[in-house]
Amino acid sequence: MLDLKQIRENPTAVQNRLNQRGSGTDYDLQPILAIATEQKAKESERTLLQSRSNEIGKLIGQKIGQGADPKGTEIQTLREEGNNLKVQLADLEPQEKDLKEQLQKLLLELPNLPCETTPIGANETDNVEVKRWGDQYLRAEKEGILPHWEIGEKLGIIDSERGVKVAQSRFISLMKAGAALERALINFMLERHIGVGYQEIMPPILVNSDSLLGTGQLPKFAEESFQCREDDLWLIPTAEVPVTNLYRDEILDLEQLPIKHCAYTPCFRREAGSYGRDTKGLIRLHQFNKVELVKLVKPEESAVEHQILVADAEAILQALELPYRVVELCTGDLGFGAAKCYDLEVWLSSANTYREISSCSNFHDFQARRANIRYKEKGKKGTQFVHTLNGSGLAIGRTMAAILENYYEPSTGQVKVPVVLQDFLKRDYL
């Protein structure tokens, strides 16, 4: 959520930075400013009335103590004024509450401001490629290359038809070595991240509405999540939601920062708006597994911690020897809550292109304001909002897809197991 004070003091600057998102949405700040002004006026009026009411209460007590007749004209006049003030306050308070709710609703619908260092652009075509890694591993031969779902079906490790029978489209079942490979990837990723300082969390995969509100999925993206309507619970779209919200409404000690967590969870997404896209394979499923990285840090350290987070996700791809590139997203392609974001895109041989496998975002204080996560430094007054960051480390299904396509040997019909996974799987080939 954006800082209302910033909007009040610099509306033109905030408007200009929102417009850099280039989404075609009109982020009109005037309704927010108008309601904020009205709410501020109501608040000031209430404060004055409450102050006068308190003053009258004290004055009555003082005068009676000095000998005034409790039923006399002077005391009765003061009591009538006090009663009138109470009526005014009773009428004013719900008005102020309604204005605050309207203001909160409008603020929750605004996306984050792009970081000043984020490239300006209209859409994904304006994203900036930062680096490529692993060109030496790119497949030179084209003959015999298959898409990963065909490789998986040939090996009997991916069963789409049975997944659809059990659930619906965009669900799959992993069989035999496919299930073992998924489990091996989860264990491998967690061990690597724990080894560089992340603390493992196994959070709930059902969360309440306040949690989704805190990280920005609600209210704007309700249609993209699966809801258990009778219980005010939602299946998580990513571990970012429960892990970040572990600290909702808390004031942390400065010494606790940075907080660094990794978490494996199943994830669930409706994939609203993706009709007809990636209908086969492991790229765009309603249910998928992912290892997530989450950080809570001091504001002045978030830029450096962001670069480290990206490198931690890259390290997994490098260890698996999967070719990839890093792309910095432009303002027009940023996610709703991100101020700055890097995508890691892995090479898929059959498509002869790179596909996203991790999105590493710095949210600045956007999520922390929504979730009310602050920290306090000893000896100093007041609190500050933390900066939150997260990224996939990595999406398991997409990693498996990349392994199947990049390690497939057309001559034998087998898939070589990456060296770093061979001890986990106890085999060299699938």
Q: Annotation-wise, does 284 bind a ligand? A: no
162 is an annotated ligand-binding site residue: no
Report whether 384 contacts 374 (CB < 8 A).
Answer: yes
Residue 81 annotated as binding site: no
Question: Is 45 known to sit in a ligand binding site?
Answer: no
Residue holding tokens 């306090």? 376
Please give the torsion angle defined by the CA atoms of residues 215, 217, 220 and 222, in that order, rounded to the nearest 10 degrees: -150
Whether 356 has a binding-site annotation, put simply, is yes
CA-to-CA dists, residue 246 to 138, 204, 265, 331, angstroms: 41, 10, 15, 29
Is 211 annotated for ligand binding? no
Assigned token pair, 158: 């991916």
**Other beta carbons within 10 Å of 16:** 11
Q: Does 328 carry a binding-site annotation?
A: no
Note the residue count of the chain. Answer: 430
- Under a CB-based contact definition with an 8 Å cutoff, are residues 243 and 201 in contact? yes
**Angstrom distances, CA of residue 87 to CA of 49, 50, 92, 99, 149:** 10, 11, 9, 19, 70
| Strands ordered across the beta sheet of 206-208 | 206-208, 233-235, 227-228
User: What is the DSSP pairing of strand 324-328 with strand 173-174?
Assistant: unpaired
314 among annotated binding-site residues: no
CA atoms of 66 and 133, how far apart (whole Å): 87
* CB contact at 8 A, 69 and 140: no
Q: Would the annotation count 359 as a binding residue?
A: yes
> Nearest Cα to 324, choosing from 422, 403, 231?
403
The secondary structure of 237-248 as a DSSP string is SSTHHHHHHTTT
Please indicate if the annotation marks 239 as binding a ligand.
yes
Task: Give CA torsion, residues 404, 345, 194, 396, to 10 deg.
Answer: -40
Query: Is 173 annotated as a binding-site member?
Result: no
Asked whether residue 270 is marked as a ligand-binding residue, the answer is: yes
Those residues whose C-beta lies under 8 Å from the C-beta of residue 52, and which sit 6 or more positions away, are 85
Known binding-site positions: 238-240, 269-271, 292, 356-359, 392
Known binding-site positions for ATP: 269-271, 356-359
Known binding-site positions for L-serine: 238-240, 292, 392
